[in-house]
Amino acid sequence: MKGIAGETVIVTGGAASIGKVLTERFHAEGANVVIAARTHAAAQELAERLGQRALAVETDIRDDAALERLVNRTLERFGGLDVIVNNACSYVDEGAASTRVQWLETLDTNVVSGALLVEMARPHLAKGPGSVVNIASISGLVAQAGRWTYPVSKAAILHLTRQQALDYAPQGIRVNALVAGWTWSDPIAGLSGDDRAKADAVAGEFHLLGRLGRAEEVADGALFLCSDHASFTTGSELRVEGGYLAMGPEQAGPAIAKLTGGSSSVLPR
């Protein structure tokens, strides 16, 4: 991917699930990768496997001092910072029954921490020009039964992306959101009993392409947004969601046929 080799990239939540694949893909394209993760052992193991162009930094992104340390360690090791991928995420969500603590935990992790990290890194990203990718979700664009805190946080990420793009553009920093559909990941594996075929079958009802997304496909989208191929793209949303949002409430079936007894050629007036 043009413009990735030699760049220095921070991936939050970069040691597990989709974040791990993001880290691996940026590294494979020639970037220096900084793996920010609360679980240092997993991050360190990944960094050691990837080699000299990888650095693990134990980071609780809800802690401002930890964010400052993350930026400083990145600069000390690689001499600059070009890209931030805000991937770390909280899934704490009990719908309408969510407590104030759960609301604040979700918003702090999913929205506030990413905003603060980018602002701390802004002077260094501006030397680039820099790029930011905020990992969003279809959940931020549609209502989902029984889920409140997570979708609201993902909707906030979409508007945060526009605000960042607006205010950072004069400094040469591009900011975009990647809107992911259902993607094979640790949460989906847990819910499905680690049965990918089952998860694909269920996802097929809601995605035009008939399956879950793959973490590699999310990573390819993030790589594009950070590359020179997207040099005129900012404040945008790249949808890597298999047609979920295009499908609509009628899904992929011929809804009109239910009225006509089989024919879908008669349009409602």
List the catalytic residues: 150
Give the Cα separation of 81 and 74 in Å (integer): 7
**Distances, alpha carbon 114 to alpha carbons 24, 85, 181, in Å:** 21, 9, 20
| Cβ pair 215, 18 in contact under 8 A | yes
CA nearest neighbour of 113 among 66, 43, 163 = 66
Cα radius of gyration (the chain): 20
Give the Cα separation of 95 and 102 in Å (integer): 10
Find how far residue 31's CA is from the centre of its chain: 18
Angle, in degrees to the nearest 10, between helices 64-78 and 113-125: 30
Q: Which amino acid is at 269?
A: R
Q: What angle do CA 180, 186, 187 make, to 5 degrees?
A: 70
| Cβ pair 210, 182 in contact under 8 A | no
Give the Cα separation of 216 and 252 in Å (integer): 25
CA nearest neighbour of 36 among 79, 96, 77, 95 = 77
| Cβ pair 101, 25 in contact under 8 A | no
